[in-house]
Amino acid sequence: MARHSSTARAYLLIMEAHHHPITRLVVLASGNGSNLQAVIDACADGQLSEHADVVAVVSDRVDAFALRRAAGAGVPSVHVGRQPDEARADYDARLADIVAGFDPGLIILAGWMRILTTSFLGWFPNRVINLHPARPGELPGTHAIERAWQEALAGERTGTGVMVHLVPDEGVDTGPVLATDEVPILPDDTLEALEVRIHAVEHRLLVDTIRSICTERKEITA
């Protein structure tokens, strides 16, 4: 069963109230976008429709399938590529300017493969969350599922997990945890089988966390 952090809930209670009755979601994604699709579907099928709406999808990669998913759902999408010799802070400032134009209540990093600097995060305090396929404090950074599976093969672990956390700074998967859930690694698991189970948990946990955040915001502003 997913666990939602009481510490994170207290953190959320000081979040800036947003003036829209429906929370405007901007999703940043670099790749396939299956978690983006889960959020789009949840907004369409009633799970999130009373609480949130995806108003834009932004990718740093022009060939990201996430952009095609956005187009298929009628969601505005933007490719923001890095310019030659552009510094990280300059890219992030340009990215922040574009994202701010969509007036987001919540920014979701769903497979976003760039570490954001304060040049971006400073524009959106307490409004950026990240999904990571590992338990809190474990396997930060890329290829977390593959690394967990390899450790299981070596007899070093029997399970992994998924978490959603706030992104207050440039730490890699270290922000205050909003929600987490366990995923066992079975003795006969292939990497592909483990990926399928983890992705299913990711989709559910992300949607549940967005709903919790939006509900708490409504309670604050009621």
pTM recorded for the entire structure:
0.90
Residue 195 CB neighbours (<10 A): 15
**CA atoms in the 13 A half-sphere facing the CB of 114:** 21
Residue 27 CB neighbours (<10 A): 29
51 and 211 in contact (C-beta within 8 Å)?
A: yes
CA distance 20 to 82: 31
How many whole angstroms from its chain centre is CA 53?
Answer: 15
CATH 3.40.50.170 fits 3-221, yes or no: yes
What's at 121, amino acid-wise?
A: L
132 is known as an active-site residue? yes
CA distance 45 to 64: 25
DSSP state of 101: T
Phi, psi of 197 (to 5 degrees): -70, -40
Residue ranges of domains in the chain: 3-221
DSSP state of 138: S
Note down pLDDT in tens along the chain; length 222 residues. 677 665 555 455 445 445 567 899 999 999 999 999 999 999 999 899 788 999 999 999 999 999 999 999 999 999 999 999 999 999 999 999 999 999 999 999 999 999 999 999 999 999 999 999 999 999 999 999 999 999 999 999 999 999 999 999 999 999 999 999 999 999 999 999 999 999 999 999 999 999 999 887 654 444
What's at 164, amino acid-wise?
A: V
132, 165, 199, 203: the active-site residue: 132
